[in-house]
Structures are given as C-alpha cells and as structure tokens.
C-alpha cells in the first residue's frame, strides 16, 4: 500500500469494503443496506424494551429525512418485515414493530459485524483491534454523531 495515501481515502476504502461485504451477506434477504440498518435498529430498540417506536425516532437515529424514511418503512412493511399500527399514545404516529421473522435480526447484525471486523482485521492482534475500535468510537464522538 502507498504510505502517502491520504487518510480520507483510506477511510473511504474501508467503508466501501465493509458495505460491499454487508451487501453480499444481505442480498438473499432482498433488502437494501439502508433497509437492513433500519430494520436492525427497530429490532435493537425492541430488544431494549422500548415500548413504542415511531418514524420520527428512526429518522433521528439513522439521520434520514422524513420522505426517505417513509419510503423505507413502506417497503419494509410491504415485504413483511415490519408491522405499522396506530399509536395508542399519539394518533399522529404509527407504532412500528418487527414481525416474528425479524424480531431478533439485531443479533444477526451483531454477529455479522463481528465476523466482518475479524475478516478485515486479519493479522492484527486482539489488542490492536480493541485499540482500533476504541479510536473509532472516539472519532465518532468527536464528530458529534450519537450512535
């Protein structure tokens, strides 16, 4: 590798490689990467005991506009991955829930992330991987992105 490669380009290469590997793994599910992330977020929030998830919550977490999230939710619902019902708390919103087939998809995402990280970090020690993760979390904190 060119040692004078700009850091931004290195980040971009890692990002593209990670996305490509995720795309390949979710291809059979007929989901886009964004749909997969949103579905994973719904599953994760449900597993934490969040009683009601609505579109606005997902827009904030995923940093996606209202019209874009509307389309994502409609496609996930039409594919049978989620169910939207009127909110018992606020009739202006719809409560979004996973279906039986996607309830624990966040666990699959966690496993996939671990496998991809291990694959991309081949040849690094566990200490080096832990350091990379710690530094990455710190950089994300510095850019004011709350995961």
| Token reading at 29 | 């599910």
Non-local (6+) Cβ contacts of 34 within 8 A are: 62, 64, 72
Residue 146: the pLDDT is 54
Residue 109: the pLDDT is 87
- Residue extents of the structural domains in the chain: 7-142
The CATH class of the 7-142 domain is mainly alpha
CA distance 19 to 15: 6
Residues in the chain, pLDDT under 50 = 147
């Amino acid at each position: 590798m060119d040692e004078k490669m700009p850091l931004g380009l290195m980040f971009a290469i890692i990002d593209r490689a990670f996305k490509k590997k995720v795309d390949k793994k979710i291809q059979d599910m007929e989901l886009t990467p964004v749909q997969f992330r949103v579905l994973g977020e719904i599953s994760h929030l449900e597993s934490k005991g969040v009683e009601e998830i609505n579109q606005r919550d997902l827009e904030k977490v995923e940093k996606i506009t209202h019209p874009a999230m509307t389309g994502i939710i409609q496609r996930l619902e039409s594919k049978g991955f989620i169910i939207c019902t009127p909110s018992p708390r606020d009739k202006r919103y719809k409560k979004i829930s996973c279906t039986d087939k996607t309830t624990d998809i966040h666990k699959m995402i966690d496993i996939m992330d671990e496998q991809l990280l291990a694959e991309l970090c081949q040849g690094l020690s566990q200490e080096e991987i832990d350091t990379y993760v710690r530094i990455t979390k710190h950089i994300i904190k510095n850019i004011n992105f709350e995961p």
